[in-house]
Structure 1
Amino acid sequence: MLRITELTLPLFHADEDLPAAICKRLRISPRDLIKHVVARRAHDARDKANILLVYSVDVNVKNEEAVLARFKKDRGVQRTPDTRYRFVAQAPADAPRPVVIGTGPCGLFAGLILAQMGYKPIILDRGKVVRERTKDTWGLWRKAVLNPDSNVQFGEGGAGTFSDGKLWSQIKDPRHLGRKVLTEFVKAGAPAEILTEAHPHIGTFRLVTMVESMRETIEALGGEYRFSTRVNGLDIATDGGGVRRVRGLHLQDGGYLEASHVVMAIGHSARDTFEALYAQGVHVEAKPFSIGVRIEHPQSWMDDARFGPCAGNPILGAADYSLSHHCASGRTVYSFCMCPGGTVVAATSEPGRVVTNGMSQYSRNERNANSGLVVGIDPARDYPGHPLAGIALQRQWESAAFVAGGSSYAAPAQRLGDFMAGRASETLGSVIPSYKPGVTPTDLAACLPDFAVTAMREALPVFGRMIPGYDHPDVVMTGVETRTSSPVRFTRGEDFQSVNTAGLFPAGEGAGYAGGILSAAVDGIKVAEAVALNIGGA
């Protein structure tokens, strides 16, 4: 089978145009084309009057070797890559049961791969099963009641459950592990189109049912889930060779769980666990992250700006964007976790703090588009001196946002025009904010670092020139966005184990090794493989 890439056709092309284009590209007769399957579809909207669809297509043709020989110097025609996943081990009968802490994308796939290899993992989560967790999350959004262990950040599915469900990443993936992730998602109920779309997404409601299905698969393979189970610390002992090793886990309820192999997939908001592991001497270092706000525009503005007369076309869907500006100060301002046709959500996990995030359903048909508008920060410049200083910085501005919003879990919000003018908003304009349990018009400068305010004021007019209407005075900005990524990294070696604690496998976004659903899931697969190889198996 051959793969053709960068095959372009007009947005409104007929079905028969694709096989005709394949034959033209390969310089073959239509009777020599046996079969074709779309491997990937993207769009090129640089020319709004002539939007193109860009295909990668797998084809079976007669005389395949002769056709391939004609294109041996053309990277656009190659053999179709083998994307099948191959397990690295199979559990021996006496294998110890590994423990996975966390049921976000990383923990979910670590648990799934271990279960598929026969290791029967025990999977812990401080939060609840996804349906109960959803009720608790709505409790914050509708009633301003926070459950610190069951919310947007904690519980089955992890933070990615309440997001846009984006399933693409810029990670290097020579083994096509991302394909394994997408394939398992389709088995669990995701639409098959995620296997071919260039920028696939799922949305919150579908993610809920999918994580339930994957839990059932893991349990059927001998895995075991334990929800509402918080880990307070590790049982670590030094062996005869002077190596620190994990022996078990101390649980909040006073229980103890013996474990020699622990996957730590706890997510970027498990601050109390970060602190406990640091206190026990597990090696951790500060890591860069970003801080800013959520910015909202009517989705129709984005559709018109990006797609022009083709706005509303079902193939194109709701328009998204990706923006970045390097400031005179050396700071970078960029869009983050853009959610077309979505809502801004309350995402705190700690009392007395306000955190924003974005979420979309699969349909992406809500009134507004939203995105993080964030400024990159780094330890050496902004929070030096302690590995956990980034957590303190996050808490400082989240607490300030709570006060600025009225100390009720309402979020501080401001019209963009007022933000640029340096005055507090007293009312909002034509853009209606989507954040629940509500917003308080105010001055966002009170809950952001001065350097972030200055950088965003420089970047917004630039973005307005890139996307007309982006810097409209009535655009709503809601604060604060602080959980862009983990502020720490639990350093691991090439064997994926902690550099100073054998048997502990830091993994995913919380450990500082991923960012987003797909990259976290891929990291979970890699760590599961490392655990299996360390335990042993034929």
Structure 2
Amino acid sequence: MIRISSVKLVNSGTERLPQNREEQYDQLKRKLTKKVSKLLKVDISDISKLIIRKHSIDARKKTEIMDVYVVDVCINKKGFTEEKVLKKSGCKSAAIVSEKKYVFPNNRKEDNELKRDTGDNPGRPIIVGSGPAGLFCAYELAVSGYCPIVIERGMDIDKRHEAVEAFWRGEALLPDGNVQFGEGGAGTFSDGKLNTMVKDKNGLGYECLKIFHNFGASEDILYESKPHIGTDVLHTVIKNIRNKIIEMGGEFYFQKKVNSLIIKNNKIGGVVCEDGQEFISNVVVLAIGHSARDTFYALNDQGITMEPKAFAVGLRVEHSQALINKSQYGIDNPTSLPPSPYKVTARSSDGRGVYSFCMCPGGYVVNASSEDKRLCVNGMSYSGRDGKNANSAIVVTVEPKDFGSDEILAGVEFQRKLEEKAYQLAGGKVPVEYFDDFKNGVLGVEINATDKSKRNLPCIKGLWEFAPVHEILPDDINKSIIEGMGHFGRMIEGFDSDEAIFSGVEARTSSPVRMTRDENYEAVGIEGLYPCGEGAGYAGGITSAAMDGIRTAEKIAIHYRSGKSFYRDMAKNKRDNLDKDIRKNLDDKLSLNIQNSYEYKDASNILIYCSAKGEADTTSIIDKAIADGKKVYCPKITDTKNRVMEFVRINSRSELKDGKYSIPEPTLNNNSEIFTANKENTLVILPGLVFDKSGNRIGYGGGYYDNFLIRFSDELTNGMMKIAAIGYDFQLIKEDLSCYMNKHDVKVTTILTDKETIRL
């Protein structure tokens, strides 16, 4: 693959773009393909694939704004290698690269010695919180067969959206349905920005972006230098991820608050909820948000090691988006450039950092309160970023020494005091003040009473009111903000104008505490307890939280087997270590049990697996069925990518040859008879490793049999086709395996072992 690191397209800012986002993307790829063909000196038809890896805007020259792309291309020109193409083109910005793919450490052989003993029950990981950290941790674990349980104190996304909209209209604040608490976390009611300062050496950040894209986010998040989804699209994406986790065996509990942890002998044992319900597990992930203040206190009381940490507080500032666009692009309202973002930083005279945070182009300030009689704000935008104002938080760094106490949770109380002041200023409405009034109030100058009716008004989700915002923060922080605004006005013309709009208070930029954890990501001194994400103090945004959630899932996968892996290994070890004579005796009994079953006797068609690698032997059953005049079909894999197989009729076992995975298979040619639906009774005999008495089956994880059986749903429903799982008696366990079954897993109707027959 050839990577070109600087492909430039002129953007006047006034071009007409297709309204449909997909059409915009197709048009862009055509332009890039044409440009790349010239850079590499090949025909357009020679480019078989083009992938956009990065996009940024170079607006340093307002008269010549450039879209700058990094692209990967594949060349299919006959007789030309990538090396020849590069040499011939002389393109200095091109190089040969290989694609870096993220790989989750599931069932790695090198981790076998690190696996911990969980006794006879593997347990299912419990994840407390369904923000980005919890959701992405749950997703990776679900994909790997862990069937996690997610416990969320807030509402599911649909109920939460209704509750938040009602609150913004003036209805009561709900403790379990607000901007901070509920499915998706605080980031769901934000700009949905996905850029992060976290280094991405192993492709983990890109993995997060791919997951967002796979579940509904637009493709441009995979390459934009500052990707964003938007709160409207995030609602759908979050729900899609949750439904996929459930499909893979996970469970979600909403409006269920965890009150305490079960800890025994320095090991986690589960959680206790507010309603008294206990969830037992040897793995618990604390993916709580930065606003879970009551949970911080409960964890502190239980002795969970944590420490205060620095964060930032400040105010939201709004300007017209046209003002920001004009400063950054030289154009008020561009048609082919996105609403311009900005990032500004400064240092005040007392040494404090002052900077913009969570900048929302074309966005809204939102009432983000979560506690009664306390008020805080945040920024939000929709996917189109089409609001008339731009906003960001202008914040100042505060450290534990500023909190007024040495207590671990002093930062929480510092935040609360500021939010109480903000609430009182406007009776629960968001307090708003123009910058000139704010500045005069801080400096002790009489506030100007001139007519402000023609000034720009704020864009706020929630009720708001003009009030003395300058009374919320301590004087030194206010003065730092004023100094910072002066610096920023020299960077962006008009930034420090009198008409800039302040609202407050922004007090929840990040968690006020950090839960200390070791190199395994476990809470210090407690095995199996994993603090992660923003609330634990290890992330500062959607993507960094999602990445921390996946890293936590990695640590769990290294030290604990998934339920499916646990049961597979248990059965496989017993099966593979059987004495030869004992195995022969068990196979004879199993074969006889099958032959005596009415399912076998009534069937005209026998679809049966070919035994290999220690499986219960089917050779005698195949021979008997052929001798009895039954039509016998054996599986042939035809598509490994999509996990497709067909059953091909054989008249003798001599027709079987080693095929995929060294399993005997029939040959497939034009004369082969492939099984199709018919009106004859059919028995399908499946392999497997573990079964329960309810018909749930854990196989090898390929999904071939389930994919095949789904095609015959009518025959399964009317009883013309029956499914039998066969195996040794120890493969039939008393535990319920339903939680490890995926949405598309097909239950068996009969279980046959060397000792018994179970019909369902």
1:142 alignment partner, one of 158, 163, 169:
169
- Corresponding residue number in structure 2 for 1:477: 502
Counterpart secondary structure, 1:302 = helix
- Corresponding residue number in structure 2 for 1:46: 60
How far does residue 173 in structure 1 lie from its aligned partner after superposition? 1.1
- Corresponding residue number in structure 2 for 1:434: 459
Matching residue's letter, 1:82? K
CA contact (8 A) 1:103 1:156 kept: yes
2:430 alignment partner, one of 411, 418, 424:
411
Counterpart secondary structure, 2:331 = helix
Matching residue's letter, 2:456? V
CA contact (8 A) 1:425 1:442 kept: no
Alignment of 1:500-515 (within 5 A): 500-515=525-540
How far does residue 336 in structure 1 lie from its aligned partner after superposition? 0.5
1:522 and 2:547 correspond: yes
How far does residue 442 in structure 1 lie from its aligned partner after superposition? 2.5
Question: Equivalents in 2 of 1:379, 1:26: separation in Å?
Answer: 56
CA contact (8 A) 1:342 1:360 kept: yes
Question: Equivalents in 1 of 2:44, 2:237: separation in Å?
Answer: 41
Structure 1 range deviating more: 383-392 or 268-277: 383-392
Counterpart secondary structure, 2:519 = coil
How far does residue 27 in structure 1 lie from its aligned partner after superposition? 6.0
Question: Equivalents in 1 of 2:304, 2:424: separation in Å?
Answer: 34
Q: Which runs of 5+ in 1 are unaligned?
A: 239-243
- Corresponding residue number in structure 2 for 1:56: 70
- Corresponding residue number in structure 2 for 1:303: 325
How far does residue 20 in structure 1 lie from its aligned partner after superposition? 5.1
- Corresponding residue number in structure 1 for 2:393: 372
CA contact (8 A) 1:137 1:150 kept: yes
Alignment of 1:158-307 (within 5 A): 158-238=185-265, 244-307=266-329
Cα deviation code 1:474-516 (max 9, x no counterpart): 1110010000000100011110101122211001011011111
CA contact (8 A) 2:308 2:512 kept: yes
- Corresponding residue number in structure 2 for 1:154: 181
How far does residue 75 in structure 1 lie from its aligned partner after superposition? 7.8
CA contact (8 A) 1:144 1:437 kept: no
Counterpart secondary structure, 1:143 = coil
- Corresponding residue number in structure 2 for 1:120: 147
How far does residue 343 in structure 1 lie from its aligned partner after superposition? 0.8
Instruction: Note closer, same or farther for the CA distance 1:504–1:114 as it changes in structure 2 (3 Å cut).
Output: same
Cα deviation code 1:389-418 (max 9, x no counterpart): 100100010001111122xx2022111011
Structure 1 range deviating more: 286-295 or 1-10: 1-10
Give the alignment's TM-score, normalised by structure 1: 0.93
Alignment of 1:18-33 (within 5 A): 18-19=32-33, 21-23=35-37, 25-26=39-40, 33=47
1:532 and 2:554 correspond: no
Counterpart secondary structure, 2:526 = coil
1:385 and 2:392 correspond: no
- Corresponding residue number in structure 2 for 1:329: 350
CA contact (8 A) 1:425 1:443 kept: no
CA contact (8 A) 1:287 1:489 kept: yes
Structure 1 range deviating more: 75-84 or 523-532: 75-84
CA contact (8 A) 2:369 2:377 kept: yes
CA contact (8 A) 1:130 1:156 kept: yes
- Corresponding residue number in structure 2 for 1:8: 8
1:464 and 2:489 correspond: yes
How far does residue 439 in structure 1 lie from its aligned partner after superposition? 2.4
The root-mean-square deviation of aligned C-alpha atoms, in Å, is 2.4
Matching residue's letter, 2:358? C
Cα deviation code 1:247-302 (max 9, x no counterpart): 12111001211121011001100000011001111000111110001111111111
Larger radius of gyration: 2
How far does residue 120 in structure 1 lie from its aligned partner after superposition? 0.4
Matching residue's letter, 1:89? N
Counterpart secondary structure, 2:122 = coil
How far does residue 451 in structure 1 lie from its aligned partner after superposition? 1.4
Question: Equivalents in 1 of 2:393, 2:356: separation in Å?
Answer: 5
Alignment of 1:352-367 (within 5 A): 352-367=373-388
Among all aligned residue pairs of Structure 1 and Structure 2, give the percentage whose two residues are the same amino acid. 40
- Corresponding residue number in structure 1 for 2:612: none
How far does residue 379 in structure 1 lie from its aligned partner after superposition? 1.4
Structure 1 range deviating more: 141-150 or 521-530: 141-150
How far does residue 35 in structure 1 lie from its aligned partner after superposition? 3.7
How far does residue 74 in structure 1 lie from its aligned partner after superposition? 6.9
Q: Which runs of 5+ in 2 are unaligned?
A: 16-26, 109-114, 566-760
Structure 1 range deviating more: 192-201 or 465-474: 192-201
How far does residue 67 in structure 1 lie from its aligned partner after superposition? 4.8
CA contact (8 A) 1:347 1:357 kept: yes
How far does residue 77 in structure 1 lie from its aligned partner after superposition? 2.2
Question: Equivalents in 1 of 2:560, 2:399: separation in Å?
Answer: 37
CA contact (8 A) 2:86 2:94 kept: no
How far does residue 11 in structure 1 lie from its aligned partner after superposition? 1.6
Higher relative contact order (CA 8 A, sep 6+): 1
Counterpart secondary structure, 2:53 = strand
Counterpart secondary structure, 1:50 = coil
